[in-house]
Structure 1
Amino acid sequence: MQIPRKTSIGSSESDLSYQKAILGSVSRTFALTIPLLPPDIEIVVGNTYLLCRIVDTIEDAADLSPQIKQDLSKLFLDAVLEKSPVETFVEPCLTHLRHYGNSDELDLIANTPTVLRILHTCSANDQAAVSRCVSIMSEGMSRFHGKQNEAGLKNLTEFEEYCYVVAGVVGELLTTIFSNHSQAFTKNIVGHEELAIAFGQALQMTNILKDSPEDKARGVSWKPANMSQTTLLAIAYDKLKDSLNYILLIPKTDLGMRRFCFLAFGLAVMTLSKIAKRDKFNCKDEVKLSRKSVMAFYAFTKVAVNSNLLMKVFFQVYAKPLRTAVSKS
């Protein structure tokens, strides 16, 4: 039997090839953005995304009870933290998800051992950051499994907590990973750490608003109860402003990190602006960005990240529908 060759960080090429392939299958957006990062950061961020995607898959399984979701989440977290063998999670999870419709996500769960092998070859500092992120996300989502209902979350505080455990914590993770690999960023971020949370929350609010018709169809809402779309857009707009300030703290010498964040930020800006132009929409496809728009912006980011002014001008121009909607609230 041929022994797989090892990369510089100790992961086999076959494992990394799987990570890259499955990333493209479960997320077109992140398959586009993550490769922009420097190689070592790309590996750990891609790995974290896949781990988070497993948590999301458990949450998205509509036919599972909150208790089963909580049990599976705990089994998964124990496997990530090496408290129990990964097989103790994979086998029961696949059994409970035997009627789940997304074959790519089921394949990812079946290959959880591969994903964890890659994680355990990363640096100790990066592993610690990923473990913290996955712990907060997994435990946080477990708390919210029983809160799923058509009316929505109790209030704005609960909504922001939800956005934190599913995405704000990812902003914190990125900050830690970036700091582990960039001394210049480490200096710049001091005193501005809260911007990282806003960055993650802004992206999550975009997803919640975009996916709200489909969530409603299955009897779920992650929006605060009795809060208008316009009010939510106003909150999202403030978080986008903080997000841009976060990106501007990334040194121009770290262009890959800047471009990764600016691409995700810009797609959120354009999506929220499309939503802001409508009083309501019945399907996320109505506000989905065209592939042509995405690829045009992708090309633009290569130039824009070299200029703070150009990034600010983009936000000023493309967020205009969002600002207009907010001003009317």
Structure 2
Amino acid sequence: MSNTAKADLLGPLLKSVSRSFYLTLRVLPARMRDPVGLAYLLARAADTIADTSLIEPARRLALLLALRAAVGGDRSEGTRAAIGRVADEVAGRQALADEKRLLESLSAALALIDELDASDRAAVRDIVTTLTTGMEFDLRTFPAEDSGRIAALRDASELDRYTYLVAGCVGEFWTKMTCAHVPGTIDEPHGAVIARGVRFGKALQLTNILRDCAKDLRIGRCYLPLPLLERHGLTPASLLAADASARARPVLVELLATALDHYRAAADYTFAIPRLSIRLRLACLWPILIGLETLRLLANNDAWLDPTKISKIGRNDVYRLVAGSTAVVCFDSVLRRWIERLIGEVEAGLGAAAAAAVA
């Protein structure tokens, strides 16, 4: 592939479909950018295939599995034909031009895998395989978006596994990329660092699940475990009622507390990075700060299950966090106070929420 085509895929196209992640990507050490950026592009393409509701779920699953096979190195005629059909069947159904262009560029993105060195190629294949396993879980577990039915996760262990498949594994991949491309950065036992990285990813995904719960319910997906709902006299369908936000407040309290525990592990992960490894620190700090700000909004949102009142921080707030953290990235005590203050604000909201639930 020409350098120009590669630069377009990992530059303008990646930027157009990655939103805030592109900020994180650009601040990474240069050697990490290509494998991490390519993994993101492939995962984003897979996610777009899995989420295109105009195509029936079984067909989406077939195309998703074909993409996974192609990422894994399958160059059979059937797999190549299926990848070609992604552009025909899925790209044309995208409302956003950037998503359409991503799917039309899928063959070129797949070709980039072969240009990576052996270890990066294996890592990219592994992370995309795991992420698409999470997407496969969605398509096999939940009903079609227009079915009028809702399915919930079976238990807390299924939620924990799901958060690993769609995000915890990213923390694992990130750590492997760091150790491979910036060796000696983290002077701690490899297993402990990997475990924190996994929890880092789980923190971010649990935040997304809680933030997007109202919208997901309306397409038949309840990621809140059924036993947790039943313990509080709730069903997935009851979460659509006008008073659901108040009735389900104890569920929110419990899951936010779990998320905060994961964020504490994420903070430990970040502070294990040397202060002068500024790029890696910032790449970790930004999602932590954005995530905790989102949890703070959730903890204080009395209508968290109203799809018109989603707890999402604004673009200007993201820029404020980016600028503020960049200014103090080398000062551990300042960063710790900042993170602890945000955690304290979330916990204060949880306390108020718990009191309201008892009342």
Same fold (TM over 0.5): yes
Q: 1:7 — aligned with what?
A: none
Provide the residue aligned with 1:276 in structure 2: 299
Note the C-alpha offset of 1:284: 6.8
Tell me whether 1:239 sits opposite 2:232 in the alignment.
no
Q: Which has the larger radius of gyration?
A: 2
2:232 match: none
Moved more, 140-149 or 272-281: 140-149
Count how many residue pairs are aligned between Structure 1 and Structure 2: 320
1:143-201 deviations in Å (ceiling 9; x for gaps):
33121252421111111111111111111100100000122235325241211111111
Q: How far off its partner does 1:283 sit?
A: 3.4
Equivalence map 1:89-100=2 (5 Å): 89-97=82-90, 98-100=92-94
Displaced runs of 4 or more, over 6 A: none
2:235 corresponds in structure 1 to none
Paired residues of 2:29 and 2:280 also in contact (CA < 8 A): yes
- CA distance in 1 between partners of 2:262 and 2:308 (Å): 22
Q: Which moved more, 1:284-293 or 1:126-135?
A: 284-293
Deviation at 1:266, TM superposition (A): 0.8
Aligned pair in 2 of structure 1 residues 125, 14: CA closer, same or farther (>3 Å)? same
Stretch of structure 1 that moved more, 276-285 or 151-160: 276-285
- In the alignment, what sits opposite 1:301? 325
Question: Alpha-carbon deviations, 1:290-318, whole Å to 9, x = none?
Answer: 22211111111212321222221111112
Q: Distance in 2 between matches of 1:88 and 1:78?
A: 12
Contact 2:276 2:330 in 1 (8 A): no
Residue 298 of structure 1 aligns with an amino acid whose one-letter code is V
1:240 Cα deviation from its structure 2 partner: 0.6
Query: What is the match of residue 181 of structure 2?
Result: 181
Between stretches 29-38 and 103-112, larger displacement belongs to 103-112
| Structure 1 residues 229 and 202: alpha-carbon distance in aligned structure 2, compared to 1, 3 A threshold | same
Q: Distance in 1 between matches of 2:308 and 2:162?
A: 21
Aligned to 1:113: 107
Q: Give a deviation string over 1:60-115, Cα, whole Å, max 9, x none.
A: 12233332232112110111122126743332223332434333222111101222
Is structure 2 residue 334 aligned with structure 1 residue 287?
no
CA contact (8 A) 1:23 1:30 kept: no
In the TM superposition, residue 46 of structure 1 has moved relative to its aligned partner by 1.3
| CA drift at 1:131 | 0.9
Specify the alignment match of 2:117 in structure 1.
123
What is the TM-score with the length of structure 1 in the denominator?
0.90
Distance 1:32 1:128 in 2: 25
Gaps of 5+ in 2: 144-149, 230-250, 355-359
Identity %: 26
Tell me, yes or no, if the aligned pair for 2:212 and 2:310 is still in contact at 8 Å. no
Q: Which moved more, 1:85-94 or 1:199-208?
A: 85-94
Q: Paired residue for 1:166?
A: 166
| Alpha carbons 2:50, 2:61 under 8 Å: kept | no
Residue 88 of structure 1, aligned match among 70, 74, 81: 81
| CA deviations over 1:218-241 (Å, ceiling 9, x no partner) | 222223234411111111111111
5+ residue gaps, structure 1, are 5-11
SS at match of 1:188: coil
Per-residue deviation, 1:274: 0.6
Do the aligned partners of 2:213 and 2:222 also contact (CA within 8 Å) in 1? yes
**How far off its partner does 1:279 sit?**
2.6
In structure 1, how many angstroms separate the alpha carbons of the residues matched to 2:274 and 2:115?
27
Partner of 1:146: 140
SS in 2 for 1:323: helix
